[in-house]
């Protein structure tokens, strides 16, 4: 489903990703954890080419891209890969001048050229799935942060992506709103959705992920089943990180 090999990304002289390898099977959930500045979000943004990798290879379903210094990836290839991903941002990124229904329908109608009636029906079903079936006519400013994030999840799913990408989906939420978003994501995992989740919610990662990657300094320093990485880390740096956050609700 998703294969990444030797992925590198730098911003000027700052090397953020230093040879990342990832394997994710269809229907599985990958959680990416680690300290701030470790490269977690950059890796996620490279997967859907919001950031263009400098070097390495990436294969998503039947699309494979090879990145090399000085080689420009064709816009057609970028578009084709992005059609296979659905991104859920930590700051929602909803169109403020469009209501909930139009936000969800935008991608299918404008990008995928789908029939508006069918797109509306799909959008309504997705709103029901995330518990907002009666909010289609609302505008983003009329919703709570948790509701906006659930709309963001519905919008990502409307594109029928091969993989859903979540960038710290609860970090901008008040504590009492976190649970409603995590419940939706957990339900998607139970349905067999392929997902990559950058998160600081350790309990959630342990509960929902099939595989966990712990990053630090642009490297993957430990990976494996959630219980191993989160509860029984092997490397000294992983132990240090997990000990530091032990007992914290982060």
pLDDT tens digits, one per residue of 92-136: 889 999 999 999 999 999 888 899 999 999 999 999 999 999 999
Sign of CA dihedral 42, 152, 178, 146: positive
37 contact partners, CB below 8 Å, separation of at least 6: none
Task: Give me the pLDDT at residue 249, please.
Answer: 41
**CB neighbours (10 Å) of residue 101?**
19
Dihedral angle over CA of 43, 44, 45, 47, nearest 10: 90
Sign of CA dihedral 238, 244, 248, 250: negative
Task: Give me the pLDDT at residue 79, please.
Answer: 87
The pLDDT of residue 244 is above 90: no
pLDDT tens digits, one per residue of 2-43: 999 999 999 999 999 999 999 999 999 999 999 999 999 999
What SS3 class is residue 1? Answer: coil
The pLDDT of residue 247 is above 60: no
DSSP annotation of 50 reads: S
pLDDT tens digits, one per residue of 158-200: 999 999 999 999 888 888 888 899 999 999 999 999 999 999 9
List the one residue out of 53, 56, 55, 57 whose CA is nearest residue 44: 53
pTM over 0.85: yes
């Amino acid at each position: 489903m998703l294969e990444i090999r030797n992925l590198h990304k730098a911003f000027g002289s700052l090397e953020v990703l230093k040879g990342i390898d990832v394997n994710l099977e269809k229907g599985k959930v990958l959680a990416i954890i680690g300290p701030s500045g470790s490269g977690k979000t950059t890796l996620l943004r490279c997967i859907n080419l919001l950031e263009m990798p400098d070097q390495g290879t990436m294969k998503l379903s039947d699309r494979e891209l090879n990145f090399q210094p000085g080689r420009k990836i064709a816009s057609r290839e970028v578009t084709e890969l992005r059609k296979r991903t659905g991104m859920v941002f930590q700051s929602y990124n909803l169109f403020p001048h469009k209501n909930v229904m139009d936000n969800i329908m935008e991608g299918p109608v404008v990008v995928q050229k789908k029939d508006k009636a069918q797109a509306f029906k799909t959008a309504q079903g997705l709103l029901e799935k995330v518990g907002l079936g009666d909010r289609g006519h609302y505008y983003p400013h009329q919703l709570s942060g948790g509701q906006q994030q659930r709309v963001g999840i519905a919008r990502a799913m409307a594109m029928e992506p091969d993989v859903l990408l979540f960038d710290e989906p609860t970090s901008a939420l008040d504590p009492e709103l976190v649970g409603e978003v995590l419940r939706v994501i957990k339900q998607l995992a139970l349905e067999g959705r392929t997902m990559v989740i950058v998160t600081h919610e350790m309990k959630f990662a342990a509960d929902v992920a099939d595989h966990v990657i712990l990053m630090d300094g642009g490297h993957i320093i430990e990976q494996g089943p959630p219980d191993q990485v989160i509860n029984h880390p092997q490397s000294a740096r992983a132990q240090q990180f997990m000990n530091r956050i032990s007992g914290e609700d982060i």
